[in-house]
Structure 1
Amino acid sequence: MFVEQRVYTLRPGTTSAFIDYYGERGRAVQIAHLGNPVGYYFTEVGSLNQMVMNWYYASLDERAHKRQQLASDPDWVAYLEHARECVTTQQTSILKPAPFFTEQLQAYISRRRNS
């Protein structure tokens, strides 16, 4: 079990447009393939103009399969054509939960799947 964290740095002044466009065109198709995110945030203090997205996967194989399905969805491809105009860099990390947090993360994921 792990969480993938993706940090997108956006061109200054494009954060609101990026969030709006994602909500209108990207969110539904992404959730259809990946499930609900563990978190979706934008920076308020610190390194500005960043979107931070966290996705839960049971295994690296599950991640590869789901991301491959997403990448081949024409609606996602169309969304990316416009969304990429806002992005200057992307950083992806694979995060393992600490042993004392595993149970809490599993409970959170179960609640999200049932909502």
Structure 2
Amino acid sequence: MIVEERTYTLHPGQVAAYLKLYETEGMAIQKRILGRMIGYYSTEIGPLNQIVHMWAYTDLNERTTKRAAMAADPGWQAYVQKLRPLLIAQESKVLTPAPFFTPLWQD
């Protein structure tokens, strides 16, 4: 298992607009295609105007396949066009679990 942590830095004052756009247009597509959402957050302390979301995958091959399917989805493409003006930067990290960790969805 791997977890992808994505951090989006937004223009100041755009967090509410981003979250509304994601909730109404992006979330259903992303959840349908990617599947296992671990969490979706906005920053309150530390670097501000950031959205952090995490997704679980079996491995890098699953991630690659699912993200390619999402990129090819016409609804996702339309959503991304609306999203881009809100963004300053994007960062993606792939995390691997410690040997003693059992994800909640596997209990």
TM-score (norm 1): 0.90
SS at match of 1:99: coil
Provide the secondary structure at the position in 1 that maps to 2:85.
Answer: coil
Find the aligned partners of 2:106 and 2:11 in 1 and give their Cα distance: 35
* Percent identity for Structure 1 against Structure 2: 44
Counterpart-to-counterpart distance in 1, 2:96 and 2:65: 19
State the Cα RMSD in Å: 1.1
**Long gaps (5+) in structure 2:** none
Moved over 3 A (4+): none
Deviation at 1:109, TM superposition (A): 2.7
2:34/2:67 contact within 8 Å kept: yes
- 1:109 pairs with 2:98: no
Q: Is contact 1:38–1:109 with CA below 8 Å preserved after alignment?
A: no
Number of residue pairs matched by the alignment: 107
- Deviation, 1:110, is 4.3
- The equivalent residue for 1:41 is 41
